[in-house]
Amino acid sequence: MLNFVTKRILSMLLVVLGISFLIFSVMSLSPGDPAQIILGDGASQEDIAELREEMGLNDNLLVRFFRYIWNAIQGDLGNSYRTGQAVLVELLNRLPNTVLLAIFGVGAAAMIGVPIGIISAVKQYSIIDNVTMVLAMVMTSIPAFWLGLLLMLRFALGWGVVPAIGVDTWQGYILPSVTLAIGNMAVIIRMTRSTMLEVFREDYIRTARAKGASKRSVVLKHALRNALLPIITTIGINFGIQLGGAIVVETVFSIPGLGTLIITSVRQKDIPMVMGAILFVALMICLVTFLMDILYTFLDPRVKIKKRQKQMGVI
């Protein structure tokens, strides 16, 4: 296990480093002068040149990148070109909103979508299955911004039961979470159904039924446990995507999260803010992926067996 953890951590660091270099290169080579952005349009060329020298913008791209990474390792992500505030402070202020939104949205989708997918698989080709698949298709087709506006018009502006914008209270997370959950739920339902149907065709399921195992035991104990890996992968991927910032949902409901921060910073070529946000998102996604890999070994013993066989040279 220690060897596995070490390899995963090293691979995570390489991924984060590669993503950071790619984003830093694109932002640095794109049109626009950070010194001009900071000083404004009325600044003289002498002031701009002096600020560029002070900020090290005249140095080579690689020199600037590794200087940034070295400072980031020490906890210094720089200051925003747009606001002048420390990037780390701004990210820590916005991060909870995005994390809570992702947890509520994906969590609700998983808690509702997985049972519905199981029922749909058990009742294959029945009315329940057909209705479920139609609803899943409809939920997948609904644009998030349109759904968010409809929910806002009805529940916030029409009935006034929840806030329309902002997340000052816990009620503010309800409509954004529902908007995210509906799209994620459709994906989870379809994945759960297809995976369960595939497992139902396996020999060990027929053997369990032949031995007289109850239908509930076959579904929950034998089938579901072996179908969990693709389902968990889907949930983890969706959670990672939401951590990247549900930009549309954050924009519709005026939520100060990482998604809106990244878009605003990219438009204004705020390199330190973009780099800091991307680093945060990349680290969180890598962490989620790492936790999923650890969870695999507990849910499916076959993962452990394959690892041992590979170490022994059997496969």
Residue 234 lies in a domain: yes
Residue 69 lies in a domain: no
166, 253 Cβ separation under 8 angstroms = yes
Residue 278 lies in a domain: yes
Q: How far apart are CA 296 and CA 301, in angstroms?
A: 8
Mean pLDDT of 172-200: 90
Residue 36 lies in a domain: no
Residue 167 lies in a domain: yes
**Three-state SS sequence of the chain:** CHHHHHHHHHHHHHHHHHHHHHHHHHHHHCCCCHHHHHHCCCCCHHHHHHHHHHHCCCCCHHHHHHHHHHHHHCCCCCECCCCCCEHHHHHHHHHHHHHHHHHHHHHHHHHHHHHHHHHHHHCCCCHHHHHHHHHHHHHHHCCHHHHHHHHHHHHHHHCCCCCCCCCCCHHHHHHHHHHHHHHHHHHHHHHHHHHHHHHHCCHHHHHHHHCCCCHHHHHHHHHHHHHHHHHHHHHHHHHHHHHCCCHHHHHHCCCCCHHHHHHHHHHCCCHHHHHHHHHHHHHHHHHHHHHHHHHHHHHCHHHHHHHHHHHHCCC
Number of domains making up the chain: 1
The C-alpha torsion from 130 through 133 and 136 to 141, rounded to 10°, is: -100
Q: How far apart are CA 34 and CA 27, in angstroms?
A: 10
Q: How far apart are CA 74 and CA 68, in angstroms?
A: 10
Residue carrying structure tokens 């720089």: 78
Question: Tell me: the pLDDT tens digits for 215-262?
Answer: 888 888 888 888 888 888 888 888 877 776 577 788 888 888 888 888
What local confidence, expressed as pLDDT, does residue 305 receive? 47
Residue 77 lies in a domain: no
Proportion of the chain above pLDDT 90, given as a percent:
11
Mean pLDDT of 77-89: 85
Residue 18 lies in a domain: no
Q: How many CB atoms lie within 10 A of CB 46?
A: 8
Show the tokens assigned to 124. 């294959």
What local confidence, expressed as pLDDT, does residue 188 receive? 92
Cα-Cα-Cα-Cα dihedral sign, residues 274, 279, 280, 282: positive
What local confidence, expressed as pLDDT, does residue 8 receive? 77
Q: How far apart are CA 132 and CA 115, in angstroms?
A: 12
pTM for this model (two decimals)? 0.79
Q: Which of 105-109, 188-192, 300-304 has the lowest mean pLDDT?
A: 300-304
Q: Does residue 310 register a pLDDT over 70?
A: no
Mean pLDDT of 81-102: 86
Q: How many CB atoms lie within 10 A of CB 124?
A: 13
For residue 148, the enclosing domain spans 96-312
CATH of the domain at 227: 1.10.3720.10
Q: Does residue 115 register a pLDDT over 90?
A: yes
Residue 168 lies in a domain: yes
Question: Tell me: the pLDDT tens digits for 265-300?
Answer: 888 788 888 888 888 888 888 888 888 877 777 776
